[in-house]
Structure 1
Amino acid sequence: MDKYKIVIEELLKFRNERDWEQFHDSKNLALAISIEAAELNELFLWKKDSESENINIEKIKEELADILSYSFLLAEKHNLNVFDIVLDKIKLNAEKYPVEKAKGTAKKYNEL
């Protein structure tokens, strides 16, 4: 069994053992992702650029795990494979940001 399926099964098992599925509608999962992303951002708040690379990696892992867990649950709820949707988005972005125009710049696609 691949690791992705194992992670999904473990998330669902954890959730179901606690009867939390009732709280995991799409809106609440999306809100949870946003809140956990804010908690990740908080680790970097008021840090200088040079300090931002020295954040406690364990705290980064915890917040990323929360973000990914809720993201996986939302994807699973809508029968989406996260790897497929990420690969699709990379293809879309490759069209928006062709290497010859986007290389070395942080400009948005409509500014290139």
Structure 2
Amino acid sequence: MQDIVTDSLRDLAQQLDAFARERDWQTFHSPKNLASALIVEAGELLEPFQWLTEKQSRELSPERRDAVASEIADVLLYLIQLSSALGVDPVAAAQAKLRLNAERYPVDKARGNARKHDEL
């Protein structure tokens, strides 16, 4: 499964690169600009959830779910572009972070609580 995800992300990164090249947008896609755009899109991802209860946030209407899906796509696209601009393999980085988190949050100490690793 990991190879499929990696190949899919690689394909998506290539599609994004071609999309930007066709429009001559590479000059605008500095790491700083991409990180800024990513944060803006992450904020937009939060907007459909604003003022919802926990329960409501788990039971989105089809229209609201579609809006959230669109914002998730925007976040993912900018994250992949930022990864490409910096030469970072996002899957490898995520796997390394997951290994680190497994050390920081051992099951016997972290199960069932939301405390930060330095408070366990």
Bigger shift: 3-12 or 30-39? 3-12
CA separation in 1, counterparts of 2:79 and 2:12?
A: 12
Relative contact order higher in (CA < 8 Å, ≥ 6 apart)? 2
Query: Number of matched residues?
Result: 112
CA separation in 1, counterparts of 2:50 and 2:40?
A: 15
Does residue 32 (structure 1) correspond to residue 37 (structure 2)? The answer is yes
CA separation in 1, counterparts of 2:82 and 2:113?
A: 32
Q: 2:9–2:80: 8 Å Cα contact kept in structure 1?
A: no
Unpaired runs of 5+ in structure 2?
none
Moved over 2 A (4+): none
| Higher fraction of helix | 2
| TM-score of the aligned structures, taking structure 1 as reference length | 0.94
What is the Cα-based RMSD across aligned positions, in Å?
A: 1.3
Please give the secondary structure, in 1, of the residue aligned with 2:54.
coil
Does residue 96 (structure 1) correspond to residue 101 (structure 2)? The answer is no
The residue aligned with 1:16 is: 21
After TM superposition, give the deviation of residue 79 of structure 1 in Å.
1.2
The residue aligned with 2:49 is: 44
Unpaired runs of 5+ in structure 1?
none
* % identical equivalent positions: 38
